[in-house]
Amino acid sequence: MSPREHHVLGLSGGRDSAALAVYMRTYHPHLDISYFFTDTGKELPEVHEYLGRLEGFLGKRVHRLNPDRDFDFWLKQYNDFLPSPQTRWCTRQLKIRPFERWVRQFLDKGEIVYSYVAIRADENYREGYSSKRDGLIVKLPFKDVGIDKAGVLDILEASGLGLPRYYEWRSRSGCTFCFFQQKIEWVRLMERHPQAFEEAKAYEKSAVAHGSPFTWSDGESLEELAKPERIAQIRREHEQRVARRRAKALPNPLRNNTEPVDIDDLYAHQKPCLACHK
């Protein structure tokens, strides 16, 4: 008898994974896919709102996978050192571990788990594609059928879901205080979610007092970043980048909608995190 099969698709609250869920529901409706979201407990309210809308479209509940220990517990375990691009303990403990615990129940019985991941056709990123566990098979449907960023936007628009609301001010899902944010996004977090900004500031103060070499944002504390003259400078620099980017963009006669300029397109490229930002 062939082993039982499961199909799972991780939603990050981001654009690409939402579009993949819509795509799978539309083009592979016979697959009984379990959708899941690993909740760090520090997510933007806009993410929860978007997941609710997505559940409406999919006609299915999205499983919330909660970490067994929260951010504060792990922060203590890591000696109060903030996570950073160099030591990304948050992704490991709060996103990947809960997923591994969840699928272990199937894999330990010798069952097969197909995990659908939203890597687009225009992305070269290879890291994390293969699974180290027998029976866990990673599938990349957008790569297979050639769906790129414009294709993702088309899927979301056609479905009526559109983009998550945070796209008005930030282009990544994930924790309110994610260190992958650009400085302009910190400024906007301060305006949109002042409490979350204050919480990040408090974490940072405590971490620095405990000897953490990392601040959330490169080279300056949030206290420094929040000074009016610094905010004005960050805004100015950002607007200049947007203007340069727009001036370079070639018009596309095949598409009448203008693609949004992602923050990642403007600043030195950082690989997206598959677990948090897809």
Binding flag, residue 120, ligand SF4 (CB under 6 A): no
Radius of gyration (Cα) for the chain, nearest Å?
20
Binding flag, residue 183, ligand SF4 (CB under 6 A): no
To ligand SF4, the closest distance from the beta carbon of 229 in angstroms equals 28
To ligand SF4, the closest distance from the beta carbon of 75 in angstroms equals 11
Contact call for residues 176 and 189 (beta carbons, < 8 A): yes
To ligand SF4, the closest distance from the beta carbon of 77 in angstroms equals 15
Binding flag, residue 178, ligand SF4 (CB under 6 A): yes
Question: Within positions 81 to 110, which residues make up the interface with ligand SF4, using CB under 6 A?
Answer: 83, 88, 90-91, 94-95
Taking the least distance from each CB to ligand SF4, the nearer of 12 and 159 is 12
Instruction: Mention every residue, 6+ apart, whose C-beta is less than 8 A from residue 273.
Output: 88, 91, 174, 180
Which residues does residue 33 pair with via DSSP β-bridges, in sequence order?
Answer: 7
**Residue 80, CA distances (Å) to 17, 98, 132, 273 in order:** 32, 22, 30, 23
Taking the least distance from each CB to ligand SF4, the nearer of 62 and 94 is 94
Rounded-to-integer distance, Cα 177 and Cα 175, Å: 5
Q: Return the residue of 180, 186, 197, 203 that touches ligand SF4, per CB under 6 A.
A: 180
Q: What angle do CA 11, 14, 19 make, to 5 degrees?
A: 75
Interaction site with ligand SF4 (CB under 6 A) = 40, 83, 88, 90-91, 94-95, 174-175, 178, 180, 273, 276
